[in-house]
Structure 1
Amino acid sequence: MSKVSYYTEEGLKKLREELKQLKDIERPKASQAIAEARDKGDLSENAEYDAAKEAQGMLEMKISKLEEALAGARVIDESQLDNSKVLVLSKVKIKNQTNGMEMEYTLVADGEADLASGKISVNSPIGKGLLGKSVGEVAEIQVPNGVMKFDILEISR
């Protein structure tokens, strides 16, 4: 049974493109590498063949995981989301109570997380700590070196 995970239209499209790339381009390359290694003779002492077979196994495992993720993927309808609380796809402006630093994050599904572009997973410690909070509330988030407190300044889409 596959686990349900939520994606934006963009994130789901990216997942499908990656799967297509693996199936249409990488899989034939792996088969070709195995065929070339097989043509080099004795398979019992052919390290190149063993490496090609292992690479193919890893590729098939990755394809299988992507197919499973796509089977349980659901697109989030942003128009149905409540802006009064932090939810998936919320853009949240927070202020660290310790150093006064303000940050803005968008909460996304695991597969779409990218800290460099300000997208954090809803399953990350900060993401979990922010979920369900409203503007004006304080999120206390357990991190490896203690508890961090963030003021929720703004929630938007």
Structure 2
Amino acid sequence: MPSDVVVLVATAVLAVVTVVAAVVAVLAARRVARGPVPAVPEAPPLEPVHEDVAASVVPGELVRVERTRAPRTDLPVSERSGALAPRVVEGRVVVPPTQDQVVAATLSRPQVRLAVVAEGLAHALRPESRDRISALVRREYRGRRRERLRAGRRAARAAHASALPTAPADQWLGER
């Protein structure tokens, strides 16, 4: 099978996988945005972390917490930074994850790792990247070749200089 056919088939398979992944992601996003939230089984009531949060929560109702864009100066420094505080929802304490935890969880998923590798391969296979990489390899190869030739010439000069007899100009000095 010719190599151009193999590349064409691989590209087609990659395109199909990408389209399927996009469709699955859109359907999942719509389902999350539209679908009802499943009921959480009742747990023994916990001590509320903040009394003002516990007083404002109605049992059986979900609490939506949104970050504000502009920092407010009347809030403490910890709340001005946009960090979400722990909340009590249906008798359970919900602690939002930190940004580092979200990034670590997202990047550890196999689909994300595969997408990162695929994007890296696509970038490496672009014509401009191939040309740049081949130019770097060519430059490195030529530099090493020049260095080998210089080292060979130096070695030949050193070997030739030690094998030469004394110059005739030195013979008139005589021996002491």
Q: TM-score range by the shorter chain?
A: under 0.3
1 or 2, which has the higher strand percentage? 1
- TM-score with structure 2 length normalisation? 0.25
Select the structure of larger CA radius of gyration: 2
TM-score normalised according to structure 1 size: 0.27
- Indicate the structure whose relative CO is greater, using CA pairs within 8 Å and at least 6 residues apart: 1
